[in-house]
């Protein structure tokens, strides 16, 4: 393939792009790949998770603008392009029974209509590879599950001239992956390595309740990107309302991560090109076609 490779990462909220596959994106950007993050919502209903910023009246009143500025900073750190799909955050319902989702939110949109917005972006950007979430959303946030649904429809529809004719000239992406960076083998390996070195592990409780998080996923693709873990962390810290820089996300030294688990993992969900598993490149089967 002689043309520039292109990758689109479809995410539910600002900050998801920096916690899921960020080092992979930074690696590909460094290799000249054109990378676009499609952010479905503005993250308006996300809780302020950084205790240092909780109770700040300006942030609470202007959360949409604050999170947009955080996204701008993270985008620049990663070196990616970024587009908003324009939907409103659904929030994470809590309680028993769960309360209804807010009227007009992303998760309550018609799937086919919302997929049309993504189809338009796919046809404009023309990605060869798309990454998104699995059917469980990675975790069962309604916006993550909706992101999965529209990504699957859009992958199939973008290349079909009979569907969404108003959305531009057809373009068929060649591969679709699910982000699987939060997987048990990685978590167990880092947990064991920390304990072996006499260090505290933030993963003990995760591993104890792993069986409650859904079935084990099939990891098909391991992208070596340890050299970009620092960029990943800087991008994540840029989402200051969402991430405590002194929190568990950053408890594992980068050198240990690079030594024990220097990859980010994906599950190949759809491929229109031949490839052999396991892979170490999201563009396997595309580069040499």
| pLDDT tens-digit map of 95-110 | 888 889 999 999 999 9
Per-residue pLDDT band for 75 (boundaries 50, 70, 90) equals very high
**What is the structure's pLDDT at 214?**
66
**What is the structure's pLDDT at 56?**
87
- Between 87-96, 252-261, 267-276, the lowest mean confidence (pLDDT) is in 87-96
**With 70 as the cut, is the pLDDT of residue 2 above it?**
no
**What is the structure's pLDDT at 180?**
96
The CB density around residue 227, as the number of other CB atoms within 10 Å, is: 13
**With 90 as the cut, is the pLDDT of residue 288 above it?**
no
Per-residue pLDDT band for 216 (boundaries 50, 70, 90) equals confident
25: enclosing H helix or E strand: helix 22-30
**With 70 as the cut, is the pLDDT of residue 1 above it?**
no
Beta strand 221-224 with 263-271: parallel, antiparallel or unpaired?
Answer: antiparallel
Q: How far is CA 21 from CA 28, 113, 181, 267, 274, in A?
A: 11, 27, 7, 12, 23
Cα–Cα distance measured from residue 101 to residue 81, given in angstroms and rounded to the nearest whole number:
30
**What is the structure's pLDDT at 215?**
66
Cα–Cα distance measured from residue 3 to residue 26, given in angstroms and rounded to the nearest whole number:
20
Per-residue pLDDT band for 94 (boundaries 50, 70, 90) equals confident
Q: Mean pLDDT across the stretch 2-31? A: 96
Q: Mean pLDDT across the stretch 170-175? A: 98
Q: How far is CA 178 from CA 65, 109, 219, 220, 221, in A?
A: 29, 22, 9, 10, 10
- Between 21-35, 79-93, 125-139, 238-252, the lowest mean confidence (pLDDT) is in 238-252
Q: Mean pLDDT across the stretch 272-277? A: 97
Per-residue pLDDT band for 247 (boundaries 50, 70, 90) equals confident
**With 80 as the cut, is the pLDDT of residue 211 above it?**
no
Kindly give, in sequence order, each residue whose CB lies less than 8 Å from that of residue 32, ignoring residues fewer than 6 positions away. 4, 5
Beta strand 6-11 with 129-132: parallel, antiparallel or unpaired?
Answer: parallel
Kindly give, in sequence order, each residue whose CB lies less than 8 Å from that of residue 199, ignoring residues fewer than 6 positions away. none
**What is the structure's pLDDT at 210?**
85
**pLDDT digits over 148-161, tens only?**
999 999 999 999 99
The CB density around residue 56, as the number of other CB atoms within 10 Å, is: 15
């Amino acid at each position: 393939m002689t043309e520039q490779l292109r990758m689109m990462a479809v995410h539910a909220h600002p900050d998801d792009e920096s916690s899921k596959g960020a080092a992979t994106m930074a690696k590909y950007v460094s290799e000249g790949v054109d990378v676009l993050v499609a952010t479905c919502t503005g993250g308006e209903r996300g809780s302020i998770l950084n205790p240092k910023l909780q109770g700040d009246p300006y942030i609470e009143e202007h959360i949409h603008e604050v999170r947009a500025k955080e996204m701008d900073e993270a985008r620049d750190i990663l070196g990616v392009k970024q587009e908003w799909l324009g939907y409103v955050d659904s929030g994470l319902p809590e309680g028993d029974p769960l309360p209804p989702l807010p009227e007009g939110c992303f998760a309550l949109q018609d799937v086919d209509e919302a997929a049309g917005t993504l189809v338009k972006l796919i046809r404009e950007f023309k990605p060869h590879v798309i990454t998104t979430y699995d059917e469980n959303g990675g975790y069962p946030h309604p916006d993550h599950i909706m992101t999965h649904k529209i990504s699957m429809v859009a992958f199939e529809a973008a290349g079909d001239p009979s569907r969404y004719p108003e959305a531009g000239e057809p373009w068929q992406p060649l591969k679709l992956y699910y982000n699987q960076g939060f997987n048990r083998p990685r978590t167990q390996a880092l947990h064991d390595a920390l304990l072996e070195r006499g260090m505290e592990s933030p993963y003990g409780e995760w591993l104890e309740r792993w069986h409650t998080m859904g079935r084990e996923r099939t990891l098909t693709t391991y992208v070596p990107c340890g050299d970009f873990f620092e960029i990943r962390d800087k991008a994540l810290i840029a989402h200051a309302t969402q991430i405590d820089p002194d929190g568990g996300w950053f408890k594992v030294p980068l050198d240990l991560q690079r030594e024990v688990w220097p990859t980010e993992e994906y599950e190949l969900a759809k491929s229109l090109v031949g490839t052999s598993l396991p892979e170490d490149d999201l563009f396997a089967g595309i580069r040499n076609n």
